[in-house]
Amino acid sequence: MIQISDLSKVYPDGTQALNGVTLQVRQGEQLVLLGHNGCGKSTLMKCLTGLEKPSSGKILLDQHDIHQLRGHKLRKVRQGVGCVFQQMNLVLDVSVLQNVLYGAMAKHGFWRVLNLTASRTLREQALWALEQVGLAELAARRTDMLSGGQQQRVAIARMLMQQAKIVFADEPVASLDPKAGREVMELLQRIVVEHGMTLICVLHQLDLAMQYGHRLVGMKKGKIVFDDTPDNLPAETFQELYHA
Ligand SMILES: Nc1ncnc2c1ncn2[C@@H]1O[C@H](COP(=O)(O)OP(=O)(O)OP(=O)(O)O)[C@@H](O)[C@H]1O
**Domain positions in the chain:** 27-50+74-242
Q: Return the pLDDT at 118.
A: 84
Please report which helix (H) or strand (E) contains residue 47, including its range.
Answer: helix 41-49
Query: Which residues touch 63 (CB under 8 Å, ≥6 apart)?
Result: 1
Confidence of residue 234 (pLDDT cuts 50, 70, 90): confident
Q: What is the pLDDT of residue 175?
A: 82
**Which pLDDT score is estimated for 241?**
79
Is 35 in contact with 24 (CB distance < 8 Å)?
no
pLDDT per residue over 163-194, tens digit each? Answer: 999 999 999 888 888 898 999 999 999 999 99
Residues 100, 158 contacting (CB under 8 angstroms):
yes
Task: Give the span between the Cα atoms of 107 and 52, in whole angstroms.
Answer: 23
| Long-range contacts, stretch 183-192, CB < 8 angstroms, 24+ apart | 183/149, 184/149, 184/152, 184/153, 184/156, 185/211, 185/212, 187/133, 187/134, 187/153, 187/156, 188/84, 188/156, 188/212, 189/30, 191/132, 191/133, 191/156, 191/159, 191/160, 192/30, 192/167
How is domain 27-50+74-242 classified at the CATH fold level? Answer: Rossmann fold (3.40.50)
Bigger pLDDT: 7 vs 106: 7
Tell me the sheet residues that pair with 148: none
3-state secondary structure of 18: strand
Q: Decide: 39 in ligand 1 pocket, CB within 6 A.
A: yes
CA of 46 to the centre of ligand 1 (A): 10
- First-to-last alpha carbon distance for the chain, in angstroms, is 33
Q: What is the pLDDT of residues 42-70, one digit of tens each?
A: 999 999 988 899 999 999 998 999 888 88
Residue 8 beta carbon below 6 angstroms from any ligand 1 atom: no
Confidence of residue 88 (pLDDT cuts 50, 70, 90): low
Distances 230 to 183, 189, 217 between C-alpha atoms, Å: 20, 16, 10
**CA dist 45 → 18, 167, 201 (Å):** 11, 11, 9
Is the pLDDT at 244 greater than 60? The verdict is no
- Span from the CA of 50 to the centroid of ligand 1 (angstroms): 16
Chain-centroid distance, C-alpha 77? 15
Q: How far apart are CA 27 and CA 83, in angstroms?
A: 16
Predicted local confidence at residue 73, as pLDDT: 85
State if residue 18 touches ligand 1 by the CB under 6 angstroms criterion. Answer: no
Could you tell me the distance, in angstroms and rounded to a whole number, from the CA of residue 215 to the centre of ligand 1?
23
Residue 202: pLDDT band with limits 50, 70, 90: very high
Q: Which atom of ligand 1 is nearest to the CA of 13?
A: 4
- Axis-axis angle for helices 178-194, 148-161 (nearest 10): 10
**pTM of the complete model:** 0.90
Residue of 13, 39, 51, 206 best suited for mutating to test ligand 1, as the one with most atoms within 8 Å of CB: 39
Residues ≥6 apart with Cβ < 8 Å to 27: 1, 165, 196, 198
Of ligand 1's atoms, which has the minimum distance to the CA of residue 18? 14
Q: Ligand 1: which residue has its CA nearest to atom 26?
A: 37
Q: Read off the DSSP letter of residue 29.
A: -
pLDDT tens string 120-172: 999 999 999 999 999 999 999 999 999 988 999 999 999 999 999 999 999 98
Tell whether ligand 1 has an atom less than 6 A from the beta carbon of residue 41: yes
Q: Which of 52-56, 115-119, 192-196, 232-236 has the lowest mean pLDDT?
A: 232-236
For atom 31 of ligand 1, which residue has the closest CA?
A: 38
